[in-house]
Amino acid sequence: MHMEKETLLEIQDLTIQYCMHNRTVRAVNGVSLKIQKGETLGLVGETGAGKTTIALGILRLLQEPPAKIAGGRILYEGNDILKLPHHELRKIRGNKISMIFQDPMTALNPIDTVGEQIMEGILLHEKLSKKDAYRKACETLEMVGIPAERYHDYPHQFSGGMKQRIVIAMALVCRPELLLADEPTTALDVTIQAQVLDMITRIREELGTSMLLITHDLGVIADMCDRVAVIYAGRIVESGATEQIFNHTSHPYTVGLFGAIPTLDMTEDRLVPIDGLMPDPANLPDGCKFCPRCKKKMAVCEEREPDLSEIAPGHLVRCHLFAKNPPKDPPAADGQDSGKEGE
């Protein structure tokens, strides 16, 4: 049964552009998302779909210019983050909402000890003595599986997986309500990835932290997420509970994503990639943004962008095939699965 929980963060109609000399890159185009208390929302899509821009936008970490938040609201505890003065924003960043970046090498300062870097967040946000802050930093190191004695070591003395654990400790040290995890294990070996993901899940459950998990890996989504939003060319094209997205995959793009990953029981010799490339975000098509690559496209798809339709409680799809009053126009090509829910 679909139960509405308390909303922690709500993004409404967010539009972010990068304005260069002679072109405007439309990176995020009217994205709306809700993250509820205690849940993990997976944001999945190809590189360049706008996932990281959304996360950086939430914390207002985008470099403006060239980035420009052209519209929308990001509501956290009833306040629009986009309107907060900088001193208010600093109270939220790293304290209430924190971020794990993809590459631990760029997130750590090579000339400070890892303990000092973890303690920095505590001293900035919490009124603790240095002694208590030191104790909390050591506890947090232990929480991510690193002995407290290594507080005084420098980043270069750790392996890649250990460095990412330290970055996670930095993100969690103030016990944030919301964690933005941007491809947190992409830079790691596969075996280490699994360990780090297990650790994030365990700590998140212990602390009750909500999470926005950005990934292109549907396996990670299946293991860790309560709900999923699929993004394409800066637009949410499908969203719903994880089981809805996996068991009733509907949007032709999401169907394509599933066709491009191997499964243990697959009988085909080859994976089926999605033909073509994502459109140039400085020159997006007028109608459905997936139209140039879609095997189900109809004439109307080029002319009119579909709205999101709710095809089951909480399951939204942006495709004319699923519109309440679908256009009467037969598919132009065959090939891909029907894309109809439940088939």
Number of residues that bind ligand SF4 (CB under 6 A): 13
- Distance (Å, rounded) from C-alpha 190 to C-alpha 160? 12
Does position 321 interact with ligand SF4 (CB under 6 A)? The reply is: yes
Does position 294 interact with ligand SF4 (CB under 6 A)? The reply is: yes
Does position 306 interact with ligand SF4 (CB under 6 A)? The reply is: yes
Cα–Cα–Cα angle for 119, 121, 126, rounded to 5 degrees: 95
**DSSP letter string, 128-186:** --HHHHHHHHHHHHHHTT--GGGGG--GGGS-HHHHHHHHHHHHHTT--SEEEEESTTT
Of 290, 311, 315, 316, which lies in the binding site for ligand SF4, with binding defined by CB under 6 A? 290
Stretch that binds ligand SF4, among 5-13, 77-85, 273-281, 298-306 (CB under 6 A): 298-306
Does position 291 interact with ligand SF4 (CB under 6 A)? The reply is: yes
Does position 252 interact with ligand SF4 (CB under 6 A)? The reply is: yes
Q: Name the burial class of residue 46, with classes exposed (0-12), middle (13-18) and buried (19+) by CB atoms within 10 angstroms of its CB.
A: middle
Does position 319 interact with ligand SF4 (CB under 6 A)? The reply is: yes
Does position 297 interact with ligand SF4 (CB under 6 A)? The reply is: yes
- Distance (Å, rounded) from C-alpha 173 to C-alpha 123? 11
Does position 232 interact with ligand SF4 (CB under 6 A)? The reply is: no
- Distance (Å, rounded) from C-alpha 319 to C-alpha 239? 12
By beta-carbon proximity to ligand SF4, the closer residue of 145 and 326 is: 326
Q: At what angle do helices 130-143 and 160-172 cross, to 10 degrees?
A: 130
Q: Smallest distance, Å, CB 295 to ligand SF4?
A: 8
Does position 301 interact with ligand SF4 (CB under 6 A)? The reply is: yes
Of 26, 165, 227, 320, which lies in the binding site for ligand SF4, with binding defined by CB under 6 A? 320
Q: Name the burial class of residue 234, with classes exposed (0-12), middle (13-18) and buried (19+) by CB atoms within 10 angstroms of its CB.
A: buried
- Distance (Å, rounded) from C-alpha 257 to C-alpha 279? 16
Q: Smallest distance, Å, CB 237 to ligand SF4?
A: 7
Q: Smallest distance, Å, CB 312 to ligand SF4?
A: 17
The SS3 of residue 83 is: helix
- Distance (Å, rounded) from C-alpha 81 to C-alpha 69? 12
Q: Smallest distance, Å, CB 332 to ligand SF4?
A: 9
Does position 235 interact with ligand SF4 (CB under 6 A)? The reply is: no
Q: Please report, as ranges, the residues that interact with ligand SF4 according to CB under 6 A.
A: 252, 288, 290-291, 294, 296-298, 301, 306, 319-321
